[in-house]
Amino acid sequence: MASQEIEALSSALARLPGLGPRSARRAVLWLVKNREQALPALLEALDAVSETLVECQICGNVDTSDPCGICADPRRDPKSLCVVEDVADVWALDRARLFQGRYHVLGGKLSALDGIGPDDLNIASLMERAANGEVEEVVLAMNATLEGQTTAHYLAERLDEHKLRITQLAHGLPVGGELDYLDEGTLAQALRARRPVG
């Protein structure tokens, strides 16, 4: 019979994406067995995350500073703005320095099914940034899912009033593909072969 503490940790872990109750229990068991080696590092890392990470008020990225390292980097091309669904996509694209511009994180995708409309995403701030006179190209780097593509079409329409080059990732992306899961080669190819929307 698991103690209350173990039960609490299991159910906390079971809420993480990709971890169901069963794998959460296995993780807890592993942590208990390896507590002397594994726990201090994990606690320290969790503590650092909760103490130091903040959301960038400009782009929505998560970093140790606000504005984030990307927004604050003067070597980044201010003319190019890449719009993604989630922070994980910024990290995926930026891991290999594939994109030299700046990012904008929507914080999700339009979904009639889940009741997520334009006001639930960081779209108003995107429109402001796109209209700041500095941005010349907006790359819509949504996932190749139905909802991702619906979101991209919606944004392309909204952005149309500004004199911008609007592109989206080439569909070397597998159908249903999520950026975060792609290898860097596929991602680089999709970005290089990006094409005008519409």
Please give the angle made by the CA atoms of 69, 155 and 119, to the nearest 5 degrees.
80
| Least separation in angstroms between CB 107 and Zn ion | 13
Binding residue (CB under 5 A) for Zn ion from 9, 25, 61, 121: 61
Phi, psi dihedrals of residue 55, rounded to the nearest 5°: -90, 130
Task: Name the residue nearer to Zn ion (CB basis): 11 or 57.
Answer: 57
> Which residue has tokens 């989630």?
86
Task: Name the residue nearer to Zn ion (CB basis): 71 or 155.
Answer: 71
Q: Does 82 bind Zn ion (CB under 5 A)?
A: no
Q: Does 90 bind Zn ion (CB under 5 A)?
A: no
Q: Does 151 bind Zn ion (CB under 5 A)?
A: no
Please give the angle made by the CA atoms of 81, 84 and 85, to the nearest 5 degrees.
155
Cβ atoms of 85 and 59 within 8 Å: the answer is no
The full length of the chain comes to 198
| Least separation in angstroms between CB 61 and Zn ion | 4
How many positions of this chain bind Zn ion (CB under 5 A)?
Answer: 6
Task: Name the residue nearer to Zn ion (CB basis): 102 or 109.
Answer: 102
Phi, psi dihedrals of residue 83, rounded to the nearest 5°: -95, 125
- Other Cβ atoms closer than 10 A to 100: 12
Binding residue (CB under 5 A) for Zn ion from 58, 88, 127, 188: 58
SS3 category, 85: coil
Q: Does 87 bind Zn ion (CB under 5 A)?
A: no
Q: Does 62 bind Zn ion (CB under 5 A)?
A: no
Cβ atoms of 76 and 101 within 8 Å: the answer is yes
Binding residue (CB under 5 A) for Zn ion from 13, 24, 71, 93: 71
Interface residues with Zn ion (CB under 5 A) are 56, 58-59, 61, 68, 71
